[in-house]
Structure 1
């Protein structure tokens, strides 16, 4: 608290000098695109700039790594050349053995991703967000080359396992970086850029599979789509080298306040001595110094112990992040993504036509994911977005299950359906598409976002990595289980199971999910000190945001303030107000500023 108090004790004299000598009329600025969605009374317009947008874009598009593999493998295992080369329909295998072989191939990346998430617990904090991203891109390229040159199932397994080590790390790197650099008013949007990019990758893979199924014969049917992974990895690698700025919060965490202030100035497009920069640095600095005192000599064991024993971390980890992964993965959405050609055959769509429909599904999910990112997650908030998304997903999956129950013969080859059955089948296909819309609005929007914003800085990357371990463990189990669930539960039974999970999810949102949109990262932990039964329903109301950056305000008439509402500030640097971060991270005023 001392650092923050010292900063505030110095500020009045500097503020008084500014108030006395500098009153400037600020010409109203043109309103930013999409800025009507959220109310941001605490930020100068300069913080929404191309340096921020490009950094968010590169780390956001990283989500396509996971998405491209899911979409790619779903079509690859349906390609005739791949089935023949790796014996997916070998006469020597029983139906159960064939299902096991297919699920092993598809789920190997999820298994590797568990290891990648564990590795990210170390790499993201040790090497920084950008360096870790670049290492992941190199590993991703190597894994793709191994897969493309595979002629045996063993080598294919190895390539996909290594790719999992890369993809597992992306789910920690991307959300952590985005939550740390994003202005609080659009933090949900920036986090959802990553979540939406998953479906950009899926859509791209679906179209690649569909195109090669139409125009390519032989082994290249599945090799060409797989090589696109190398292109994606290379472009992200180049982008991170040229346009990205390392996270200021990471620099503060490793004890480099000068670089933290410099990078925050770049990302916010404001001078280092600007009141907004000083306030944000003060908030980060206070939390870092407090956490250093509390976590001296921290080890992995002590961090796990803190997750279990500290209420303000235990609640968001187990009641929110953990449950979001379990309920989200077993709602069936990712199983539908991975096995979409097989599921479409249940309503009578087979062959190349099923790949065409998966491409349409990819477009639907991609568009709805970014509609949710730009128009829902910050505007309506986390809770309402979840309610809407889960409700849509529940209703559509329920219809699909009912169709499979009433018209089971639609899955039979050459089945002749009545007109009403045929129309109901088309509606079931549409329901499958709409379930993807519900997923992207609900669980997909928050499964990465909540883990990256609910935990304090001292444990953020570790906790996010642990959450992603849970994510991929459940996705691995789900992708392994679905083929067997369809066999054992007469197809429709699996979807009734998913409906039950979503009904539980609606109750979970009501009791456990607090609304944190628009809050600074440093203010969120306070919510979890409340009794558990009010956190979800009234947490934000009972614990308002009192962070320093929340006390800074801006408006185009020039009556914004730095702290207490008594000064105007310029949008350009001024000689009368200069503050620096010392090596110890303490906020001190320049002596010349005090003399004036």
Structure 2
């Protein structure tokens, strides 16, 4: 069967898995301010709406926990194919929702699929991509999430203004099945991860895939040969280890990586992105916007999110992971405190905003416009920094034997905090209003110190070379000075001439 070999084409189709996450985000955020939705579901209060929104994250948490086990057994492609089918089922259940319980069930099922795709798409692409462009390739997943958010938001907007009655949100939620079906079909033409193949001792297939992706089919290409040697060594070490359980991820040589992977996903949520994504309509309503103006202003925010991440992707491997994370946390901290100060000093408590009793704080006029402006700036900074970088970093830090389960566990940290915040933010706007931003500002302050003192730099290194970075005694803020062994090995191969096919590729030598 024909296999796609262009890494960017693979990333474009593979990251439809990320788009599924984006579809589910705005499939809810677009409707919470629409009368059709609120009337059909009996005007859910802030607690119930928080639960409806968070139900997808609950399913994603369970899906990400199971994702590593599924991926190790069935392969990266197999796990993504199963998730695609589950997503289609979830879309159908949501489309046919007759009440809140029915809708929540559909969002949980969809969440199971997103939990697998959000973690294993990163694993799959990181194991396929060349080291020098791995950041931009894996980062395309985040870009796909943002495309999914914008596309579904615009579909929801079109349905809200052009279709009457419950058919409006049913059409919107049913359309979600289309990208799931597209991903399922595309995966038949994808190669399996060479590192997963090596882990199963399928050496010829592993070498063939590396040659296909990195050497235009040439097994003797120096890059292919060096990459294959490193994969062999990683597989040899993995085979010497015992079967990996989740408890093994906290063992003596791995716990630091697990803490980095899980915490970067946790901090991505605690940075405050959920405030901007799930409840952007609430923010703009508090700032004095109404009706279609609110919906279009929200769409502008999603466009900014999409553009900023897209602009950053070509440069993300040059800038480095640590620098982007630190710039993002400091800048977002300042923005949160500014928004809190403006809302506290210029706003006032009210019984409701435009009839929405979930909102009890109002800030209008030029001060309201300032809140909207800083919300736009926050979204742009988030798109430049933490939105793509957290997923990239979590996909890089684990060695081969632990990667699928490690990234799955890291994604579960993202989803459990996603669940908590999706549930928390709606009641927070109702009960503590502007103080919500103070909480997120404090989180940004804490994560800045955590990143600086515990996160090594991983940009530009092969996955196997990152193992060496974590095993060294160098301080995290000095790991970018560690010598590039992968580049040296490629130079040696080039100087030695063309390597004969089959060199260092036999099962006996690996064993």
Per the TM alignment, residue 502 of structure 1 is displaced from its structure 2 partner at its CA by: 1.0
Structure 1 residue runs of 5 or longer lacking an equivalent are 1-48, 90-97, 554-560, 570-575, 589-596
1:326 correspondence with 2:261: no
1:314 correspondence with 2:255: yes
Question: Among 124, 135, 159, which residue is 2:71 paired with?
Answer: 124
Question: Among 381, 385, 401, which residue is 2:320 paired with?
Answer: 381
Structure 2: distance between partners of 1:582 and 1:439: 44
| Counterpart residue number, 1:364 | 304
What SS does structure 1 have at the residue aligned with 2:175? helix
Structure 2: distance between partners of 1:261 and 1:413: 62
| Counterpart residue number, 1:25 | none
1:261 correspondence with 2:210: no
Structure 1: distance between partners of 2:328 and 2:429: 25
- For residues 194-253 of structure 1, the C-alpha deviation after alignment (integer angstroms, 9 at most, x for no partner) is 1121111111122112222222211122112212211111122222223x2211111001
| Counterpart residue number, 2:227 | 280
TM score, norm. by length of structure 2: 0.92
Question: Among 403, 407, 416, which residue is 1:473 paired with?
Answer: 416
| Counterpart residue number, 1:209 | 156
- For residues 451-476 of structure 1, the C-alpha deviation after alignment (integer angstroms, 9 at most, x for no partner) is 11111000000111111111101110
Q: Is the 8 A contact 1:485 1:494 kept in 2?
A: yes
Q: Is the 8 A contact 2:136 2:317 kept in 1?
A: yes
Question: Among 226, 239, 252, which residue is 2:198 paired with?
Answer: 252
After superposition, where does 1:86-101 map in structure 2 within 5 Å?
86-89=41-44, 98-101=45-48
Structure 1: distance between partners of 2:304 and 2:225: 43
TM score, norm. by length of structure 1: 0.80
1:483 correspondence with 2:426: yes
| Counterpart residue number, 1:539 | 479
- For residues 17-66 of structure 1, the C-alpha deviation after alignment (integer angstroms, 9 at most, x for no partner) is xxxxxxxxxxxxxxxxxxxxxxxxxxxxxxxx962221121112321111
Question: Among 58, 66, 71, which residue is 2:26 paired with?
Answer: 71
Structure 2: distance between partners of 1:388 and 1:84: 43
| Counterpart residue number, 1:20 | none
What SS does structure 1 have at the residue aligned with 2:478? helix
Q: Is the 8 A contact 1:130 1:240 kept in 2?
A: yes
What SS does structure 1 have at the residue aligned with 2:507? coil
After superposition, where does 1:501-540 map in structure 2 within 5 Å?
501-531=443-473, 534-540=474-480
Q: Give the 3 Å change call, closer, same or farther, for CA 410–362 of structure 1 in structure 2.
A: farther
After superposition, where does 1:78-117 map in structure 2 within 5 Å?
78-89=33-44, 98-117=45-64
1:562 correspondence with 2:509: no
CA RMSD of aligned residues (A): 2.2
Structure 2 residue runs of 5 or longer lacking an equivalent are 356-362
1:393 correspondence with 2:316: no
1:336 correspondence with 2:276: yes
Per the TM alignment, residue 484 of structure 1 is displaced from its structure 2 partner at its CA by: 2.0
Q: Give the 3 Å change call, closer, same or farther, for CA 341–562 of structure 1 in structure 2.
A: same
Structure 2: distance between partners of 1:587 and 1:270: 22
| Counterpart residue number, 2:347 | 408
Q: Give the 3 Å change call, closer, same or farther, for CA 282–582 of structure 1 in structure 2.
A: closer
- For residues 349-373 of structure 1, the C-alpha deviation after alignment (integer angstroms, 9 at most, x for no partner) is 1223211111111101011111121
Question: Among 290, 301, 320, which residue is 2:237 paired with?
Answer: 290
| Counterpart residue number, 1:93 | none
Per the TM alignment, residue 443 of structure 1 is displaced from its structure 2 partner at its CA by: 1.8
| Counterpart residue number, 1:9 | none
| Counterpart residue number, 2:490 | 552
Q: Is the 8 A contact 1:389 1:437 kept in 2?
A: no
Q: Is the 8 A contact 2:233 2:510 kept in 1?
A: no
1:155 correspondence with 2:94: no
Q: Is the 8 A contact 1:325 1:470 kept in 2?
A: yes
Structure 1: distance between partners of 2:181 and 2:10: 16
Q: Is the 8 A contact 2:262 2:411 kept in 1?
A: no
| Counterpart residue number, 2:366 | 423
Per the TM alignment, residue 581 of structure 1 is displaced from its structure 2 partner at its CA by: 6.2
- For residues 465-514 of structure 1, the C-alpha deviation after alignment (integer angstroms, 9 at most, x for no partner) is 1111111011101111112222332x110101111111222222221222
- Deviating above 3 A after TM superposition, structure 1's stretches of 4 or more consecutive aligned residues are 409-415, 580-583
Structure 2: distance between partners of 1:337 and 1:585: 52
Q: Give the 3 Å change call, closer, same or farther, for CA 428–166 of structure 1 in structure 2.
A: same
Per the TM alignment, residue 183 of structure 1 is displaced from its structure 2 partner at its CA by: 0.5
Structure 2: distance between partners of 1:550 and 1:213: 58
